[in-house]
Chains A and B, each alone.
Chain A
Amino acid sequence: MAAARLCRCRCRALLSRPAGAVRARRGLAAGPEMHFGFQTVTEEERREKIYQVFENVAKKYDVMNDSMTLGIHRVWKDILVHKMNPCPGTLLLDVAGGTGDIAFRFINYVRSVRQRQLQRKLKHHQNLSWQQIFESYQKDEFNSLGDSQVVVCDINREMLKVGKQKAEHLGYSEGLSWVLGNAEELPFDDDKFDVYTIAFGIRNVTRIDLALQEAYRVLKPGGRFLCLEFSHVSNPLLSRLYDLYSFQVIPVLGEVIAGDWRSYQYLVESIRQFPPQVVNNYGTYFSGGAEGNDRRCRLFQSGL
């Protein structure tokens, strides 16, 4: 049905990056007029409207995701984390992470990697006394994540609230922090994070170029940028079925389940409006520096 595109850029910037000289080329209007679904609005209006959309849908966000993608979004998110393949000690920034799906998966993954690490360590220490094994277990138990941390950053207070409640409900407490912030202007220092993810969030950002600049800024040299987003369906028959399902069924589901037609109409339209060349240009952005060869970027795309 829908193809989700994953792209990964490896940045090896060793020298100082040019001060804002690099801009991503994109198909969006550069002027004050922007799209909000199929409407035309100003930048400021767009930010406000999108904020309201997610404020309205926050409580039913997960239910609606399941209905809209028939549960497939879980698979895509699992694949994202697998592709990320984080090792214990990774510092992840999940932007537009709202209800915490990526963050929880990250924690689970790192926990299981850590478990395996500990098991392997114990296997090698065959000649330890019981006391020593017990002590090592105790020490490592308190470090079940191996110092990994995930910061969930979202511009919308309601989404973060829902995410925190979910975390409490599911029993996630350590290694997790929730920050209210704008992807276009992140409240973090430079060179802080190992991985930056943004899952189904970038099409809701009003100035994608600023978001990319910020991503570049907060990532450590050698850090990774992963973006999960809907792309267009090329097969004409599938495309028609997908359009039919999106425009006919999804707003109805929004009205029946969440009592909110317009927010889901926006969500469906925003997928259509998100230009595919933005994804292709991530590579251009990260590799187009004046210092040239020190920055290399590889772009991976996988269609599902």
Chain B
Amino acid sequence: MRPLLLRAARAGLPLLRGAPASPGKARPSHSEPRGRDGRGEEEEEEEEEMEGWHQLYPGHIPTSPLQKALLAAGSAVMALYDPYRHDMVAVLGETTGCLALPNLRDKMKNHPEGHRILQERPRIRLSTLDVARLRALPGGSLGREYLRFLEDNKVSPDTRMPPKFVDDEELAYVIQRYREVHDLMHTLLGMPTNMLGEVVVKWFEAVQTGLPMCVLGAAFGPVRLSTRKLQVLATELVPWAIRSGLNASCVLNVYYEQRWEQPVESLREELGIFPPPALRV
């Protein structure tokens, strides 16, 4: 028995089959974890290089179902205990997204713009954004408002965590896209990055994506809010977010990078997001 297989067997990890990650390349629609069957010579040599694990993309850590369950539980507890542990929220999303992510990916595949995004794999990063050009755009346009949002809230798209525990290279991109598009959600919904704003966006995303992490965040996020804010949340913001989420088409099917000039209002209409309530959040 090859030593590589023996080590993985002792560790109790599933052996995953997949070509090394090559961004921008379309991949077959799904890859399942396979058993310990015979492996090709070149594949094993590649894996020897990549730490001897079956890494499907850079940063990938293969995990067994038991490990995923433990991670999900542990990250949920830690995220509640220490809300500043954004990495725990990310891990929770990855470990619980096994049903929702393929769903999202299929929605993207069946939409022409979404399909293009899956093919081209654009990434939203400060290095790829032409900040000067965005700043020059007229007020009210997506690009200008997005930049304003980043500056007002002092956030950057580069701080999104790369996926680690998703066992499919394409789904890893889908969740990465979801994370990078999160700030654009804030812009489209007109919500700041305080606790209240985040909860509203989570409600919207929960309805849109069905990711358990969003559902949990939406349900437990309000725990830390004051009564007054809870009232506003319950009476105005959440119903609006849910209605918009149900009415809107899939937000991941929008190639935002090609729509910086489009006015936010027009994009909202196109997607089906209702105008935000006139409140100071």
Contact = CB atoms under 8 A, between A and B. Distances in A.
B74 A256 contact: yes
B88 A39 contact: no
Contacts of A244: 12
Contact of B70 (A40, A248, A272): A248
Contacts of A249: 70
Contact of A247 (B12, B52, B71, B85): B12
B203 to A, nearest CB: 26
A252 B7 contact: no
A256 B79 CA distance: 9
A66 to B, nearest CB: 16
A256 B88 contact: yes
A261 B164 contact: yes
A189 B205 CA distance: 65
A262 B61 contact: yes
B48 A40 contact: yes
Given A38-B7, A38-B52, A39-B52, A251 B88 contact: no
Contacts of A247: 10-13
Contacts of A255: 71, 74-75, 91
B64 interface: yes
Interface string A218-244: 000000000000000000000000011
Contacts of B85: 259
A8 B67 CA distance: 39
Given A39-B51, A256-B75, A261-B164, A248 B88 contact: no
A253 interface: yes
Interface in B93-146: none
B78 interface: yes
B70 A252 contact: yes
Nearest to A244: B12
B66 interface: yes
B71 A252 contact: yes
B93 to A, nearest CB: 14
Given A39-B51, A261-B61, A252 B67 contact: yes
B44 interface: no
Contacts of B261: none
A251 B67 contact: yes
Nearest to B7: A38
B87 interface: yes
Nearest to A256: B74
A241 to B, nearest CB: 12
B10 A252 contact: no
Nearest to A252: B70
Contacts of A259: 85, 87
A261 B74 CA distance: 13
Interface string A259-286: 1011000000000100000000000000
A248 B70 CA distance: 9
* Residue of A243, A257, A261 contacting most chain B CB atoms (<10 Å): A261
Interface string A51-74: 000000000000000000000000
Interface in A78-112: none
Nearest to B13: A247
Nearest to B79: A256
B71 A248 contact: no
A247 B51 CA distance: 16
A248 B7 contact: no
B87 A248 contact: no
A253 B48 contact: no
A39 B10 CA distance: 14
23 contacts: A38-B11, A39-B51, A39-B52, A40-B48, A40-B52, A243-B12, A244-B12, A247-B11, A247-B12, A247-B13, A248-B66, A248-B67, A251-B67, A252-B70, A255-B74, A256-B75, A256-B88, A256-B91, A259-B85, A259-B87, A261-B61, A261-B164, A262-B61
Interface of A: 38-40, 243-244, 247-249, 251-253, 255-257, 259, 261-262, 272
Given A248-B67, A255-B74, A259-B85, 18 more contacts: A38-B11, A38-B52, A243-B10, A243-B12, A248-B64, A248-B70, A251-B67, A252-B67, A252-B70, A252-B74, A253-B74, A256-B71, A256-B77, A256-B78, A256-B88, A261-B61, A262-B61, A272-B10
